[in-house]
Amino acid sequence: MTEISEIKKAGEAMKSILGLRGSPVGVRLLKDDKPVAGAVMAGGNRYCQALMWARHGEHVIVNKETIACPAAARAFGFKPLPEPLKSGKGLVGFGITSEETVGKMMFEGMTVFEMDEIKQIELFPLEKAESLPDIIVVEDETEKLMWITLSYMHSHGGERVKGSTAVLQATCVDSTIIPFLEKRLNYGLGCYGCRDATDMASGEAILGFPVKELSAIVEHLTYLDKKALPHSRGKHAYASLKGEMKTGEGSCSES
């Protein structure tokens, strides 16, 4: 899928079929610092906050000078990781871990870009795309992400999908960098930082996948929408169970 018009249609289709609260977000990882037409600099924002703005309709840019989260700054190769995070002391201070060695390991395992490899990041609502994104990031209720993951599995012959997370860097590493570098869908449960800094709800999670997967995902979402998706959401089996329980035929308790 290389036509911008098709990218826009895919974004609209995902929103419509799944009933997304916001937009799927197109992310471009740019290796130059040329001005991007129509984009606003997300000054003093974390990457997860820039994703939030894009999910709600904004077209934004994040770079070395404006990114506010030190972990994301290192993940994208903008800045070195501060010593308190590198040593694990920072996570103990936040009350996330009780041992520095655990915090240290969590950051040592972080998938990152080389320093200065990326100059800036462009984020926009997918249905308003004017350029071809590298990665698509979707944040919403876990049930909606389930259908995206199922559609991705379908296009890969039913192969099980692996998820990688440290319950840190959920938006930057889990949903953007891993999908880009490993060329696959990855999902996470959110993290301490993005749940604190954005409007991510308690029942929401996040995933990302390379743009080359978009066409097949939307094609299968359209197929699922004909039967499986509405049937599952209709909770027919559960409704039947409740009916049986009312008549005393479906109780799990012993008489």
Interval 23-39: pLDDT, tens: 999 999 999 999 999 99
Is the pLDDT at 77 greater than 80? The verdict is: yes
Q: What is the mean pLDDT of residues 4-24?
A: 97
Whether 254 maps to a domain, the answer reads: no
Q: String of b and e for 31-70 (b: at least 16 CB within 10 Å)? A: eeeeebeebebbeebbbbbbbbbbbeebbbbbbeebbbbb
pLDDT-based confidence at 254, cuts 50/70/90? very low
Q: What is the layout of strands, in order, in the sheet containing 25-30?
A: 40-41, 60-63, 120-125, 25-30, 135-141, 204-210, 186-188
**To 10 degrees, the CA torsion angle through 31, 206, 168, 212?**
-30
Whether 30 maps to a domain, the answer reads: yes
Whether 252 maps to a domain, the answer reads: no
pLDDT-based confidence at 246, cuts 50/70/90? confident
Whether 253 maps to a domain, the answer reads: no
Contacts with 159 (C-beta within 8 Å, 6 or more apart), sequence order: 153
Q: What is the mean pLDDT of residues 74-82?
A: 96
C-alpha span between 170 and 4 (Å, rounded): 27
Instruction: Return the amino acid letter for 194.
Output: C
**To 10 degrees, the CA torsion angle through 199, 46, 162, 19?**
30
Q: What is the chain's length?
A: 255
pLDDT-based confidence at 253, cuts 50/70/90? low
Total structural domains within the chain: 1
Whether 249 maps to a domain, the answer reads: no
C-alpha span between 249 and 244 (Å, rounded): 5
User: Residues 169, 163: contact at Cβ < 8 Å?
Assistant: no
Q: Would you call 144 exposed, middle or buried from its count of C-beta atoms within 10 A (0-12, 13-18, 19+)?
A: buried
Instruction: Return the amino acid letter for 71.
Output: A
Residue 44 is predicted with a pLDDT of: 78
Whether 237 maps to a domain, the answer reads: no
Is the pLDDT at 159 greater than 60? The verdict is: yes
Whether 151 maps to a domain, the answer reads: yes
Whether 115 maps to a domain, the answer reads: yes
Residue 43 is predicted with a pLDDT of: 77
- Look over the chain and give the mean of its residue pLDDT values, rounded to a whole number: 94
Domain span including residue 80:
4-232
Token pair recorded at residue 46: 């974390």
